[in-house]
Amino acid sequence: MEEHRKRHGRRMDYEEKKRKRTAREAHKASADAQKIFGHKAKLHHAKRHAEKVQMKKTLKAHDERNVKQKDDGAVKEGALPTYLLDREGQKDAKALSTAVKDRRKDRAAKYSVPLPKVRGIAEEEMFKVIKTGKHKGKSWKRMVNKATFVGEGFTRKPVKLERFIRPMGLRMTKANVTHPELKTTFQLPILGVKKNPQSPLYTSLGVLTKGTILEVNVSELGMVTTGGKVVWSKYAQITNNPENDGCINSVLLV
Amino acid sequence: MATLLPPPKRQKSNYAKSLEKPVAPEPEVPIPSIVVQFKSSEDGSNLGPAINLPADTGRDALQMLVNKLRGETEDPLPYAFHLVPKVPTTSTSTQSARVQINNSIQLDALKTPGTTLSPEDVFELWCEPQAVFRVRSVGRCSATLSGHSSPILCCAHSPTGKYAATGSGDATARIWDMDTETPKWTLTGHKGWVLCVEWDSREKILATGGHDGQVRLWTPSTGQAYGQPLFGHTKWITSLAFEPLHLVKSNSPSPRLASASKDGTVRIWNTLTRTIEFVLTGHAASVNVVRWGGENVIYTGSSDRTVKVWSGVDGKLIRTLNEHAHWVNTMALSTDFVLRTGPYDHTGKVPKDDEEAKTLALERYKNVISTQPETLITGSDDHTLFLWPDQASSSFSTSATPKKPLARLTGHQKQVNHVAFSPDGRMIASAGFDNAVKIWEGRTGKFVASLRGHVAAVYRVAWSADSRMLVSASKDTTLKLWNLKTYKIRIDLPGHTDEVYCVDFVADKVVSGGRDKTVKM
């Protein structure tokens, strides 16, 4: 088509015809809208409705641009002195209800942690079955597939009797801990595994999966209790999958 | 009939009285005689030999004695006395480590129950000279001034005490006349909340910092803007500090201004030409507070947990102090009051010209420095405060390394919001979100007392000019005036209908403003 146009040009009355056609568009559209029925009508009307909504919005925007309004300087409400800026102020009306809720939670022993729920991990994923014995028939040994923490001074049990093997390559000693308020991250040594949400067995093994609560050594942060004693351990919760990343990322529970 | 007075009451006859059993007069308790050793609290030295005194010697008599021992009989100074019991008290935080002597040793120390002192000990009486003038106690609200249409965020009294300036969330600052308790000027021009307001020590310029990042200068006498606003900061202004009067160079008669902002920089402005002299960059987070010390040293405290010390001459970083574990919220210098009021003191003398003002200011500053070098105290969100030694390089003492703090003041259970040195530099008051105001010794940082009474977070504290009274403003809409002899509430100042955000103590008036949009005096 384009080639033909390039070679031969257009009709003589092309402009005239075009002008008249566009002039007729409005009438034609209106006639169509009134006459069509059935499925076609439904589609057309839905499309038209959306178009009209958009048009209304742009018209309104144009109106606002034209009207000259007194600029109130955009002075925001809720003025706060400098020491209260950047602090989340708790509204007084909510204070009582939150206090009551906190007390209820304490009684129900529900503690708020950054990751309250974690994905359940199947045993096949967690352990690899190790076949032992002269004919490799016995399969009571398991090797842990996830990162673990064993602690200083760890010595393996007699190898023949060891049921769970924790490979040295997957043992971790340090965690990258992020302070939620300061938004800075420190690399802190792990003191122990407090709780693994999957199962108490994993807690006792020291398996580190997402959602595990660790105890980390925070003496280098310099926090102090009200009595003047230096705080040296705090809990942190793991936020990544250490076996995939090779490192432990966690959030400090303040 | 004329009204008759009722007949007089029947009085007891002497006979009826004589029928009552005679009450034996209380046996005279022999007043023990004790040995007292006066010690000066500035350096711990003994003032004269140990003296044998009856135990019920009153405070005035003790005062006279100390004045005689010091040889100041012509110019007697009032003294406050307190004992520090030698036997270490069981560390309950309710008991303070010192026993204040208000009436006499017998009444305050020996007769109080549960005391471990006996008349046979040698009493070491620590004497602290107090200000010669006395500020009248604040009793009631004398004026409630409305006019702001938004919560009042900051207030500052002028160095002479004639005016008070308040900044509010409606983007205006107002100057109020303290003597007539009427509004004087309204300073409009800011495009955002007016967050901080500061007077210069000659009362010639008022500086306001806003949420829009602008610093504006005003002339208080005419209420007009003093030139164009100072642009440069990209985020809101957190704090302002003027150069002390005795450091102002004679060729540029206006003091320089330091403004700290959330964007992490501090800009030093020349108020005459309204240009930036230098910019102190280096902080990694918002600079929360800035102070200009008397030795031409600028201190800045920031949310990156450090305090940086800069030179006021060229803006070079002298030192970084990083001991805090959380944001540094507030800072105070022991010379704060003297530097703020400049040449004006309680005698009400007005200096004739700039030169005289400078010499007066220098004299007052030197007086305060002679007893105690300029110490800095910083309060932080980690619930503690740190007391730092003198940072200026001109007065290095070989014993204390300036980077190590003198003391760490623990005890608050929540964030420390405001800290203030008393005007004589002897005491520190700290206000925290745990509803307590704690008093510490200004020299060593030892805990003295905890003032409890507020039921919500305490936002601000202010000392009276004679260091005898302390007023605290809190979220629970009250202000409390504290008695520093008994460490209890002296007077409660209710009346505000919403949180009180700022308070300042002038001569004998307290100015306070808060979320209820009224200024109370």
Report CA dihedral (A185, A186, A189, A191) to the nearest 10 degrees: -50
The least confident of B38-42, B238-242, B477-481 is B38-42
Is the predicted pLDDT of residue B94 greater than 50, yes or no? no
Which of A137-151, B320-334, B356-370 ranks highest by mean pLDDT? A137-151
- B472 in helix, strand or coil? strand
pLDDT at residue B456 greater than cutoff 80 = yes
Instruction: For residue B91, give the chain A residue with the closest CA.
Output: A227
Range in A19-28, A97-106, B154-163 with the lowest mean pLDDT: A97-106
B188-192: average pLDDT: 88
Chain B nearest-CA residue for A75 = B192
Average pLDDT over residues B3-22: 69
Q: What is the DSSP string of A39-79?
A: HHHHHHHHHHHHHHHHHHHHHHHHHHHHS-----TTPPSS-
Distance CA B245, CA A102 (A): 53
**Each residue of B39-83: pLDDT tens digit?**
777 667 777 777 787 777 777 787 888 778 777 666 667 777 777
Q: How confident is the model at residue A88 (pLDDT cuts 50, 70, 90)?
A: low
The pLDDT value given to residue B331:
92
Q: Which two tokens stand for residue A41?
A: 């009508």
User: A121 to chain B nearest CA, in Å?
Assistant: 38
What does the DSSP 8-state code read for residue B508?
T
- Tens of pLDDT, residue by residue over B407-452, are 889 999 888 999 999 888 888 999 999 999 999 988 888 898 898 8
Q: What would the pLDDT profile of A133-177 be if each residue is shown by its tens digit?
A: 999 999 999 999 999 999 888 988 898 899 999 999 999 999 999
List of chain A residues whose C-beta atoms are within 8 Å of the C-beta of residue B384: 224
Where does the pLDDT of residue A26 fall: very low under 50, low under 70, confident under 90, or very high at 90 and above? very high
Burial B312-349 (b: 16+ CB within 10 A, else e): beebeeeeebebbbbbbbbbbbbbbbbbbbbbbbeeee
Contact between chains at B383 and A81 (C-beta distance less than 8 A): no
Which residue in A75, A83, A222 is closest to B170 by CB distance?
Answer: A75
| Nearest Cβ partner for B150 among A79, A225, A228 | A79
More confident residue, B489 or A128: A128
User: Per the CB < 8 Å rule, is B383 touching A224?
Assistant: yes
Which band of pLDDT confidence, cut at 50, 70 and 90, is reported for residue A237?
A: very high
Contact at CB, A228 and B410, closer than 8 angstroms: yes
- Which residues have CB under 8 Å from A200's CB, separation 6+? none
Nearest chain A CA: its distance from B352 CA (Å): 37
Which amino acid type is present at position B252? S
Nearest CA of chain A to the CA of B392: how many Å?
A: 26
Give the residue-averaged pLDDT of A83-87.
82
Alpha-carbon distances, residue B217 vs A123, B49, B155, B209, B259 (angstroms) = 71, 57, 16, 9, 12
Give residue B350's pLDDT band: very low, low, confident or very high (50, 70, 90): confident
Partner-chain residue, chosen from B238, B262, B382, that has the shortest CB–CB distance to A224? B382
User: Is A206 a residue whose pLDDT tops 90?
Assistant: yes
Chain A residues within an 8 Å CB radius of B455: none
Segment B471-481 shows an average pLDDT of: 90
ipTM beyond 0.90? no
Chain B interface disruption, residue of A71, A76, A82, A234, most B CBs within 10 A: A82
- The pLDDT confidence band at residue B343, using thresholds 50, 70 and 90, is confident
Interface touch B191/A73, C-beta < 8 Å: yes
For residue A81, which residues of chain B lie inside 8 Å, CB to CB? Answer: 153-154, 195, 459, 501-502
Contact indicator for B427, B448 with CB cutoff of 8 Å: yes
Q: What is the model's pLDDT at position A132?
A: 92
Record: contact B153-A80, CB cut-off 8 A: yes
Q: Nearest by CB to B410, which of A75, A81, A226?
A: A226
Q: Are B261 and B297 in contact (CB under 8 A)?
A: no
Is residue B308's pLDDT more than 70? yes
> Does B137 have pLDDT greater than 50?
yes
The alpha carbon of residue B196 is apart from the nearest alpha carbon of chain A, in Å, by 8
B88 — pLDDT class (breaks 50, 70, 90): very low
Of A75, A81, A224, the CB nearest to B502: A81
Contact B153 A82 (CB under 8 A): yes
User: Average pLDDT of A228-238?
Assistant: 88
Neighbour count for residue B1 (Cβ, 10 Å): 3
Q: Which pair of structure tokens corresponds to residue B297?
A: 């040293």
Contacts of B326 (CB under 8 A, 6+ apart): A181, A182, B305, B380, B381, B382, B415
Show the tokens assigned to A68: 């000259």
- The mean pLDDT value of chain B amounts to 82
Would the pLDDT of A238 be above 50?
yes
Substitution target in B93, B148, B149, B150 with the highest count of A β-carbons within 10 Å is B150
Q: What is the pLDDT of residue A240?
A: 94
Which of A115-119, A217-221, B52-56 has the weakest average pLDDT? B52-56
B236 and A228 within 8 Å at the Cβ level: the answer is no
Residue B36 pLDDT grade (very low, low, confident, very high; cuts 50, 70, 90): confident
C-alpha separations of B139 from B245, B499, B521 in Å:
34, 20, 11
What is the distance in angstroms between the Cα of A77 and the nearest Cα belonging to chain B? 8
Give the CA dihedral A33, A39, A42, A45, nearest 10 degrees.
-30
Cβ contact, residue pair B195, A82, below 8 Å: yes
In this prediction, residue B27 carries a pLDDT of 64
Q: A85 to chain B: nearest residue by CA?
A: B238
Contact B325 A73 (CB under 8 A): no
pLDDT of residue B95: 41
B380 with B327: CB under 8 angstroms?
A: yes
Asked whether the beta carbons of residue A224 and residue B412 sit closer than 8 angstroms, the reply is no
Looking at residue A47, what is its pLDDT? 94
Q: How far is B152 from chain A (nearest CA, A)?
A: 8
Which chain A residue is nearest to residue B151, measuring alpha carbons? A79
Backbone angles phi, psi at B310, to 5 degrees: -120, 155
Pairing of strands A174-179, A249-252: parallel
CA dihedral B189, B192, B194, B199 (to 10 degrees): -40
- Predicted local confidence at residue A37, as pLDDT: 93
pLDDT classification of B8: cutoffs 50, 70, 90:
confident
Given a contact cutoff of 8 angstroms between Cβ atoms, the answer to whether B377 and B331 are in contact is: yes
Higher model confidence: residue A162 or residue B508? Answer: A162
- Does residue B85 carry a pLDDT above 70? no
Asked if B383 lies within 8 A of A226 by C-beta distance, the reply is yes
- Closest CA–CA distance from residue A103 to any residue of chain B (Å): 19
Give the tens place of pLDDT for each residue, B194-225.
999 999 888 888 999 999 889 999 998 888 88
Contact residues of A toward B, CB < 8 A: 73-76, 78-86, 181-182, 221-228
Q: How far is A74 from chain B (nearest CA, A)?
A: 8
Q: Where does A114-153 have alpha helices with state H?
A: 123-126
Residue B408 is nearest to which of A83, A86, A224, comparing CB atoms? A224
pLDDT of residue B17: 66
What pLDDT was estimated at residue A234?
Answer: 92
